[in-house]
Structure 1
Amino acid sequence: MFNRLISAAFAASVATIGATGAVSAQTEMNFALDWKFEGPAAPYFVALDEGYFADEGLTVEIAEGAGSLDAIPKVATGAYPIGFADINSLMRFVDQNPGAPVTAIMMTYDAPPFAVVGRKSLGVEEPSDLMGKVLGAPPPDGAWAQFPIFAAENELVMDDITVEPVGFPTREPMLAEGKVAAVTGYSFSSFLNTKRLGVPVDDISVILMSDYGLELYGNAVIVNTEFAAENPEAVTGFLRAVAKGWASVIADPEAGIDALLERNPAADKELELERLAMVLEDNVLTDFVKENGLGMIDADRMAKAIEQTKAVYEFQSEPDASLYFDDSYLPDDGSLMLQ
């Protein structure tokens, strides 16, 4: 049994201001993850252990989440000043809660991990195969939230797909047992969880929604805008430390997973190494990120993402990209370049 909340308090009464632009006083910043302590969380624990947050004068606590939508209300209410969540779900939250003090400030999954993971033996290898099948979908799942866009882009008739609401703990077991033919989920989670349950790899199909018409972005660091306005240097310092954490796990993935295992000793090291490798290859280190660095977005692509969302979601107010993403807190000292 391990604690679900990891506290790393760095006792430094005054941080040295140097080339990194560290803030001049210790600031507490609780960080709400989207999910459990698994491979993709390794960069944040490396940032703790290597003192990247401490160098910025920050005291950071990292808490597990319960899905890619979970951190949004936590940050919007101020329960956490900063978190990690799906930007597409953030758009809808902001639209449904006008004036909510939350926005994204660092794009992390430049290519979203939204996927349909199915069983080839149950007839699912490509989008059209979902017609007439049973699809398991957790209601709070970020991939399920985007499924109507995926369906529209691939001319799937939703009424011809039987959607079975499932819980996160039962999603992959139901797929492994053949009770559903496919599930929605993050590719690196549902694929590996299904594999761990004994389903042969050559029987698992991974249909990445980004390969089938989605222009959407994925998860991003989000912030309470009131906190950010009062603590701009701290927020920029947090993002700089996070970028260093990602750079460190790219250079040494095994060390990153070792840092994770200190918080989650029950995790399977090889499985989490594979999960981290999938995240890096499929979601983080895209051509755009390699050229421009971590954290930024392309304005034209964001506009297309909003248009896709409008096709399946009726905005209460005219969507405005500036409400969903603010790049003004990103560090400009080169720390965002990961390779």
Structure 2
Amino acid sequence: MNDRHPHRRQFLAGLAASSVLASPAIAQSARPLEKAQLLLNWYLYGEHAPFFYGKKLGLFAAEGIDLDIMEGRGSAVTLQAVAAKSALFGYSDMSAVVRGAIRGAPVVSTGVLLQKNPASAMGFADKNIRTAADLKGKTVATTPGDALSQVWPAFLKKAGLTEADVKILAGDAQTKLNAVISGQADVLLGYSHDQSMKIKDATGKAVFPVMFADYGINSVATGIIAHRDTLSGNADLVRRFMKAATLSAEAAEKAPQAAAEAMLEADPKAGKKDTLTEGFTISAGLYRLSPDQRPFQTNAKAVADTVDILVEYGGVDAAAKGRVQSFFTTDFLPGRATN
């Protein structure tokens, strides 16, 4: 993803206090509010909508939390900030958690929101690239060294293709977008809920992603992270935060446009309402591997499969395979929904 702002913003303006105090959810909570920061993985896009919507509805305040949402500069940077206790909670990709933890970062995933990875090869829908086989002979824009390029060889292998079957155009994140928009490349390697929205915003044209997960290359993606000291020293806060986050995601699923509006109320430069809504809707479609799964729930097999991919294709030390249970916990998640 690329920076669309000329000056990077460190903090997002809080939602108006009057709207929070008016929320019926807050009336249910008599406890004093405890400040907590959530450092996102990147600049705002649709996937982040539930946190803003939950804050607007008072779901975090109902759990005694005064939530401050901050934009990030990448999952690795977010993880470093949480490890340094500069932010209480972070929103980071599981691959960053594994890479950081194997190197000693005292950070754990407390809930994974995207159970299906949004990695894809995407291009304009009118090019009729619908399957991996359609990529043969096409030009693919990639960013060398990023997470997508690292699993690209695995995708090709699973799809029955070779490097020789495609032409590669290398460049940074913006170069990839420009290449597809200008027609220099047929597709780019990107995330279906993010880069596709940027292309659509810029051109007004529909984009179609060929999902890596549909070819057996699936790794759990972004979720909440916290420092080990926070888990042991303030377990109650972590439970309350994860309850509010879960309820926020479920509420946003039922009202995607309202969730997008909550983002724009917090930051009018976050994007366009329609594409934020569409981006969130795509994100929400990645929440579950089974119909009864609540948001943020994951399991050891899904994390182990992610670690296997990172070891085989991402250069992660093979020792990570024996440490799967140390990378995540589900101990702080709420139980089954009661309604």
Alpha-carbon shift at residue 81 of structure 1 (Å): 2.0
Quickly say closer, same or farther: Cα 1:142–1:79, change in 2 above 3 A.
Answer: farther
Quickly say closer, same or farther: Cα 1:142–1:297, change in 2 above 3 A.
Answer: same
Give the alignment partner of residue 122 of structure 2, picking from 75, 94, 117: 117
Take 1:198 and 1:114, find their aligned partners in 2: how far apart are those partners? 21
Q: Work out whether 1:317 is the aligned partner of 2:324.
A: no
Structure 2 counterpart of 1:220: 223
In the alignment, residue 51 of structure 2 is paired with which amino acid? Y
Take 2:189 and 2:120, find their aligned partners in 1: how far apart are those partners? 6
Q: How does 1:150-189 map to 2 (within 5 A)?
A: 150-158=155-163, 163-189=168-194
Structure 1 counterpart of 2:22: none
Q: Work out whether 1:269 is the aligned partner of 2:270.
A: no
CA contact (8 A) 2:300 2:325 kept: no
Give the alignment partner of residue 5 of structure 1, picking from 8, 11, 21: 11
Q: Work out whether 1:238 is the aligned partner of 2:241.
A: yes
Quickly say closer, same or farther: Cα 1:90–1:154, change in 2 above 3 A.
Answer: farther
In the alignment, residue 293 of structure 1 is paired with which amino acid? R
Q: Which secondary structure state, in structure 2, belongs to the residue aligned with residue 84 of structure 1?
A: strand
Structure 2 counterpart of 1:249: 252
CA contact (8 A) 2:212 2:218 kept: no
Take 1:120 and 1:259, find their aligned partners in 2: how far apart are those partners? 30
Aligned length: 322
CA contact (8 A) 1:43 1:249 kept: yes
In the alignment, structure 2 segments of 5+ residues that lack a partner are 19-27
Instruction: State which drifts further: 212-221 or 294-303.
Output: 294-303
CA contact (8 A) 2:114 2:220 kept: yes
Alpha-carbon shift at residue 221 of structure 1 (Å): 1.0
Q: Give the RMSD, CA atoms, in angstroms.
A: 3.2
CA contact (8 A) 2:311 2:318 kept: no
Instruction: State which drifts further: 111-120 or 233-242.
Output: 111-120
Give the alignment partner of residue 149 of structure 1, picking from 151, 154, 157: 154
Take 2:93 and 2:145, find their aligned partners in 1: how far apart are those partners? 11
The TM-score, its normalising length taken from structure 2, stands at 0.82
Q: Work out whether 1:93 is the aligned partner of 2:100.
A: yes
Quickly say closer, same or farther: Cα 1:42–1:122, change in 2 above 3 A.
Answer: closer
How far does the alpha carbon of each residue in 1:89-108 deviate from its partner, in whole angstroms, 9 at most, with x for none? 3212322x1x3111111110
Structure 2 counterpart of 1:328: 331
Quickly say closer, same or farther: Cα 1:102–1:192, change in 2 above 3 A.
Answer: same
Among all aligned residue pairs of Structure 1 and Structure 2, give the percentage whose two residues are the same amino acid: 20
Take 1:149 and 1:23, find their aligned partners in 2: how far apart are those partners? 52
In the alignment, structure 1 segments of 5+ residues that lack a partner are 12-19
Give the alignment partner of residue 229 of structure 1, picking from 225, 229, 232: 232
Quickly say closer, same or farther: Cα 1:85–1:143, change in 2 above 3 A.
Answer: farther
The TM-score, its normalising length taken from structure 1, stands at 0.82
